Structure 1
Amino acid sequence: MEDSFQGVLKGQKIAYFSMEIGLRNEIPTYAGGLGVLAGDTIRSASDLNIPLVAVTLVSNKGYFRQSLDASGSQTEQTEEWDPSHLMTKMQQEVSVKIQDRDVKIQAWHYNCKSLTGGCVPIIFLDTNVEGNSWEDRGITDFLYGGEHPYRLRQEIVLGIGGVRMLEALGFKIRKYHMNEGHSSLLALELLKRNGKDPTKVKDLCIFTTHTPVEAGHDKFDYGLVEDLIRDKNEVEILRRFGGADRFNTSLFALNLSNYVNGVTKRHSRVSSELFPGYSIQAITNGVHSYTWTSPFFRQLFDRYLPGWANEPELLVRIGGIPDDEIWEAHWNAKKALIDEVNKRTDAGMDYETLTIGFARRMTEYKRATLILSDLERLRKVNRRGRIQLIFAGKAHPHDEAGKQLIRDIFKTIETLRNEIKIVFLENYDMDLAAKMVSGVDLWLNTPTRPYEASGTSGMKAAHNGVVNFSILDGWWIEGWIEGVTGWSIGPQLEEHLSVEEARLSELDDLYNKLYYIIVPMYYDRKDEWFKLINNSIGMVAYYFNSHRMMRRYVTHAYL
C-alpha cells in the first residue's frame, strides 16, 4: 500500500514555517543545520505524500559566501541570486504594518517534487516590491542579517505575512508548525483571526525548539517592539504570552502551541529545565536518506534493498550485501572526496590514510580545535598509523570567537605541515557536505555538553558507512553503542564533572581511543572495521532518517 497521509488530513495542509530552508546550493536560503533539516523535512513530506506547504523568506542576498586568506581570516561576500530563474512569481500580494507603513509582500513558488508523486509547495516571501521604501525592500535580503530591528522586521514578515499570504493563495490550513521561534508571530495573527481565544490558537499550533541554551532564544526589547508594532492591543498580547520584560519568541510559541517538542530525548529534557512547567515532547531529528547517501551507496542499496529510499528501515538488512561491495562503494566515495580536496588545495592527500572529518558551523561550543589541543599526542597517534584531517565550516559574520577557531586551525596546519596532512575547505555548503559525510572514514563531533540539541551530520555519515566518534550529546546519545556503532568521547552521561575535568577526560579519551582502538582497527583489523561500517548503516541510518521523523510528526502532532 502506498505510504500516504493525504487522505487522512482531508485535503487540508500543514503549514511549515522556517526562517531558513536548505534545498540546493543554487537557492542560498540556508545558513546551517536548521535550514538543512527543514529541507529534509520537506523532502520526506513530499516522498510520503504528507500535505505540507512550507513558508520561508527569499533571502535575496543569501547568507554569505566565505573566503579565507592564507592565515584563515574569514571574509564574507553576499550571495545574490535571482529567484525568477528557479521559481514562479505569484500574482497575489499581501501587506503587513511595520511602524506606520504598509509593507507589501510578494511570493515566489517552488515545488519540491518526489519520485513517489508527492509534491510540497514552498512559498518564499519577498519584500523587494515596487512601492516599498528601499529600507523595506531590503527586509528579505539577508538571512540572519543586521541587528535586532532588522531581525524583528523579518519575523513580522515571516509570521504575520506568511499567514496572510497562505490565505491569499487559497491554502486551507489545518495546523501551523513553527520550526524554531522565528515565525512565532504567526500566532499573533491567528489570535486576531480567532477572537483572541488562545485555546483555539493552541489547537492550531505546533512548536519545535532547537535551542538548548537560554541565550539562543530570540528576545526583543519592548521599546523596539512598540516602535515596529504600533498597535497597543497587539503589544499587550505579546507581553501576556511572550514575557513581561522582553519579548521572547520561544516563550510566545510555547504559550500558544498545544504540541511542543525538542529534537532529541536529551534536548527535550534540557528544554523542560529551561522552560519549567511546559510539556515538551521529543521527536528525534533525522536526515533525508536518499539526499545524503552517496551515488555509490545508492546504486548498491538499489540493487540489494529495492525500495530503501522511501522505506529506510530496509537498511537494517545491510548484512545481505557482500563486504567487498560495501567497501568498494565507500572507497569510491572516499576517492571522490580526496580528489576534491587535492583539486582545491595543495595537501596531497591519499586514499589509503585514515581520514577524519569535522564540518559544521564554526562556533565556540562546537570546539573544532579539540582534537588539535595536544599536538604531541596527535603526533603519537599519527606514528601509530597515519591520519589526515579535513575541516570545513563557516563562522557567523559577528562571531569573532568562531573566526578565531578557523585561524587556529590554519596555524596548526602550518605547524604540522610536514607531519600530518590537515586541510580546511572554504565555503562549506550542501554539495561539499555531501562529499565529506560520505568520503571520510571517521566522523568527529566534539561539542560542549549539553549545547548540542541534536546535530545531524553524524546521521548523514552513518548512511554512508562512515563511523561516528563523538561526545555523548544530542542525537549520539540515542545512536551510540560503544564499539558497535562507533565510539563516545569523554565522560559518560551519569558522570558529573567540572568543565575542566570534563575537558581533560575528553582529551584523554579522544587520543587514547584513536591510539589504542581506532587506528589499529582501521589498519590491522579490517574485518572489525567492516562490522562498524555495517552497523552504522544497519543500526543507525535505518532509524535516524527524516521519514521516521515525519511519521512521528504526523501521528503525534499533525493529526
Structure 2
Amino acid sequence: MNATLPAAFRHPYAVDPAYKKSVAYFSMEFAIDQALKTYSGGLGFLAGSHMKSAYELKQNLIGIGMLWKQGYYDQVRRADNAMDVQFREKIYSFLEDTGAHFTIQVFGRPVWVRAYYLDPKHFNTVPMFFLTTDVDGNDEQARAISYRLYDNDPTLKVAQCMVLGLGGAKFLDEINYSPEVYHLNEAHALSAIFHLYRTFNGAKDEITKRLIFTTHTPEEAGNEKHNIHFLDNLGFFNGLSLDQVGELTGIREDIFNHSLAVLRVARRANGVSKLHGEVAREMWAHYPGTCEITHVTNAQNQRYWADAQLADAQQQRDADRMAVRKRTMKQLLLDVVADQVGKLFDPAVLTIVWARRFAAYKRPELLLSDYERFTRLLNNPDYPVQIIWAGKPYPFDEGAKQNFNKLFYRSHLHPNMAVLTGYELRLSKILKDGADIWLNTPIVPREASGTSGMTAAMNGAINLSTNDGWISEFAKPNENSFIVPLADRNATADVRDAHDCAGLYDLLEQQILPMYYDRPAEWQGMVARSMTDVNAFFGADRMVREYYERVYV
C-alpha cells in the first residue's frame, strides 16, 4: 500500500513538515458549505471547520464522509407556517466521480459503493471523499442506505455506519492509499476496524497504532448499542467470527457497545472539551482495557465564520466602527425575520438568539417555563427585547417537532418573538452575526462541548449560558459572558430547571439589560473582550494543531 495519495487527489500545497503524518478523518457528517447538505448540526459544523483549518495549516489530512441524497432534511413551512419535514433529492455538479466502484457485504449480499471527490479549490478544504450506495446495480433497499442522514430504521442506520467504516476503509484500499492514522469522529465508522483486522491478519497492535477516536457523547447510555447477533447478521463484522470480534474488542455479551469497542482498540481517544474529557474518563473508568482519554476542546474556523469588517474594527479598537458594523449585521438578520414571519424588529433593541440542534437536553423552551416572567420581560417598555429561536429537531422525533411548533404558535402572542425555519449553515451565520445575546441552556454536564457560542462571540454576541462544555474554559463571568451559577447536581429535574430559569432572568433583568441600554460603552467593552478571548483559543487552527501535537503523535 502507498502512503501517498494518487496524483488526482493530492493536496494543493506542500505539506507543512510539522503535519506530515498522513491522517484519514472519518465523520458521518460534514458542514462544509450551504451548497453541500451533508450535515445535521454541531458534529458536522465541527468536522467542517476541521477540514478548513487543516487546509489552512497545510496538514496531511483527508476527509471521508457520506453523500446523503436527501441530506438531513429540508425544514419547511406547513400551510399555517408551522415547521414541517421535507425530504428532497440533492444534486451536486461540483463533486467528481473518483472512479472507485466497489462492493461491501451488507444484508448478506454485495452492495455497490461509489466514491465522489470534493476538490479543495471549491470550499478551501483538504481533499474530501463522499460515499454513496445510490448507484446502478443496487436494489432500492441498498440505494436507501445513503438517502437520509441518521435514518430512523435501525437496519439502515447500521448499514450507513458500515458504508462509512467498512466502505471508507475499503475505498482507501481502492485508491492504494494507506494513511498512518484513521481518525474516527464519533463511533459511526467503527466497522473500519474489522476491515483493518483482515488487512493486518488479525494483528491488533497494527490496528491500534493507527486508530484515534473522538467521542462527543457525555452519557454512557447515549452511546450506540445493538444486539451483537443483529450486527453479525447484517455483516457489520466483515465476516469475522464472534470469537474474533470478542478477542479484538473484549465484548462477548449480547449487547455490543460501539464506543466501548473503539475505546478498547484505539491508541488514544479524546473528549471535546476539558470538562467533557473529565466526564468521559469517569464514565468509562470501570470498563477494563480502554485506552487513554485526553481532550481537545472543539473550535470553529474563523475565516469562515467571523465577519472580517467587525474583526478588523475590533483589532483596531475602533468601538464606533464596531457598533456601526454590528448594527448592519443585525439588520440582515432582522430582514430574515421580516421575510419569514412578517415582524419588523428594531436593530436598536437588544436581540436574544437561541439557535442549535433542537434536542431536549438543550432546553430550547427553558425561558418559557416561567411564563409570567417571560411575558414581563417581553413587555418591558424601559428595556425592550426581541427574541429569536431557530434549530432543527430530529425529523422523526415527533415530540421535538411539537415543541418547536409550540414555540412558533406561542410567538403569535408576542410581536417581539420569532421562530425561524431553514436552520442550516447560511441561517446559522446570519443568526450569529445578528445576535446581541447568544442564549445557551443545556443541562450541565450533558453538553460535551457545543460550539455555536464560539462563532456567535466571534461576531460580537455575548454568551448567556449555563456553565457547560466549552463555556467553562472560556467564561469570565461578567467580563466576557454571563453565566448561570451551577444548580445542585442532586436536585430533581424540576428544581434544577427552575434554578437555571431564574438564573437567566436574574442576569437579564439585573445586569444585561441595564448595561446594554444605560451603559453602552461598558457593553461595547464586554463585546471586545469576548471577541478577544474567543479568538485567542477557540479558533479551529488551534484545534487541528493540537490533534497533531497531542493526539496523533
Counterpart AA for 2:389: F
- Give the alignment of 1:451-490 within 5 angstroms: 451-490=446-485
Deviates further, 371-380 or 160-169: 371-380
The residue type paired with residue 477 of structure 2 is E
Equivalent residues of 1:43, 1:114 under 8 A apart: no
Unpaired runs of 5+ residues, structure 1, are 302-317
TM-score, normalised via structure 2 length:
0.92
Cα separation, 2, equivalents of 1:181 and 1:280 = 14
**Matching of residue 257 in structure 1 with residue 266 in structure 2:** yes
Matched, 1:204 2:199: no
Number of equivalences: 532
Query: Residue 380 and residue 231 in structure 1: after superposition, are their counterparts in 2 closer, same or farther (change >3 A)?
Result: closer
- Which of 113, 121, 129 pairs up with 2:135? 129
1:282 aligned residue: 295
Tell whether the 8 Å contact from 2:152 to 2:396 is kept in structure 1 after alignment.
Answer: no
CA contact (8 A) 2:70 2:90 kept: yes
- Distance in structure 2 (CA, Å) of the matches to 1:462 and 1:456: 10
Equivalent residue number for residue 407 of structure 1: 405
Q: Structure 2 residue aligned with 1:395, among 386, 393, 396?
A: 393
Distance of 1:54 and 1:477 partners within structure 2: 30
Match of 2:219 in 1: 213
Quick one: distance in 1 between partners of 2:18 and 2:545?
Answer: 13
Provide the residue aligned with 1:93 in structure 2: 101
The Cα of 1:495 is off from its aligned counterpart by 6.4
**Residue type at the aligned position of 1:486:** S
Q: What is the SS of the residue equivalent to 1:415?
A: coil
d(CA) in 2 for partners of 1:439, 1:236: 56
For 2:429, the aligned partner's letter is A
- The residue aligned with 2:430 is 435
- What is the aligned partner in structure 2 of residue 509 from structure 1? 503
The equivalent residue for 1:366 is 362
1:87-486 matches, cutoff 5 A: 87-113=95-121, 120-229=126-235, 233-240=240-247, 241=249, 243=251, 244-276=253-285, 278=290, 279-297=292-310, 300=312, 318=314, 320-382=316-378, 383=380, 384-417=382-415, 421-486=416-481
The answer as to 2:535 corresponding to 1:541 is yes
Q: Is the 8 A contact 2:29 2:40 kept in 1?
A: yes
Partners of 1:540 and 1:62 in 2: CA distance: 31
Give the TM-score normalised by the residue count of structure 1: 0.91
Q: CA RMSD in A?
A: 2.1
1:7 to 17, 23, 39: 17
For structure 2, the 5+ residue unaligned runs are: 1-12
1:103 CA drift (Å): 1.3
> Matched residue of 2:76: which SS?
strand
For the 8 Å contact 2:23–2:60, the answer to whether it is kept is: yes
How far residue 401 of structure 1 moved from its aligned partner, in angstroms, is 2.4
* Partner Cα distance (1:393, 1:413) in 2: 15
State how far apart, in whole Å, the 1-side matches of 2:107 and 2:495 are: 51
Question: Is 2:521 aligned against 1:521?
Answer: no
Deviation at 1:496, TM superposition (A): 5.2
CA contact (8 A) 2:362 2:442 kept: yes
Cα distance in 1 for residues equivalent to 2:485 and 2:405 = 26
Asked if 2 retains the 8 angstrom alpha-carbon contact of 1:221 and 1:247, the reply is: yes
Taking the aligned partners of 1:59 and 1:151, their CA distance within structure 2 comes to: 12
Distance 1:203 1:326 in 2: 49
The separation in 1 between residues aligned to 2:280 and 2:88, in whole angstroms, is 34
Alignment match, 1:37: 46
* Whole-angstrom distance in 2 between the partners of 1:495 and 1:249: 28
User: How many angstroms does 1:70 deviate by?
Assistant: 6.6
Give deviations 1:65-110, integer Å, cap 9, x for gaps. 1123376754211131123x11111112222112431212111000
Aligned partner letter, 1:251: L
Contact 1:107 1:124 in 2 (8 A): yes
Mapped partners of 1:160, 1:42: distance in 2: 22
Which residue, out of 68, 78, 90, partners 1:81?
Answer: 90
Partners in 2 of 1:219 and 1:551 — Cα distance? 32
Alignment CA distance shift 1:513-1:414 (3 Å): same
Deviations 1:197-219 (A, max 9, x none): 22221110000000112232111
- Distance in 1 (alpha carbons) for counterparts of 2:493 and 2:182: 40
Moved more, 31-40 or 208-217: 208-217
Residue deviations 1:254-305 (CA, integer Å, cap 9, x gap): 111111000001111111222115421110000000111125325x26xxxx
Deviation at 1:505, TM superposition (A): 1.8
Verify the 8 A CA contact 2:388 2:419 in the aligned structure 1. yes
The alpha-carbon distance between structure 1 residues 296 and 204, as it changes in their structure 2 partners (threshold 3 A), is: same
Distance 1:9 1:438 in 2: 33
Q: Residues of 2 paired with 1:22 and 1:233: CA distance?
A: 34
Amino acid at match of 1:193: T
Separation (CA, whole Å) in 2 of partners of 1:526 and 1:43: 36
1:239 and 1:149, CA in 2 relative to 1: closer, same or farther beyond 3 A? farther
Q: Which amino acid aligns with 2:260?
A: L
C-alpha contact 1:465 1:533 (8 A) present in aligned 2: yes
CA pair 460-231 structure 1, distance change in 2 beyond 3 A: closer
Per-residue deviation, residues 209-251 of structure 1 (Å, max 9, x unmatched): 0011223211121231121128663443434416322222211
Question: Secondary structure of the residue that 1:120 maps to in structure 2?
Answer: coil
Is the contact between residue 13 and residue 51 of structure 1 (CA under 8 Å) also seen in structure 2? yes
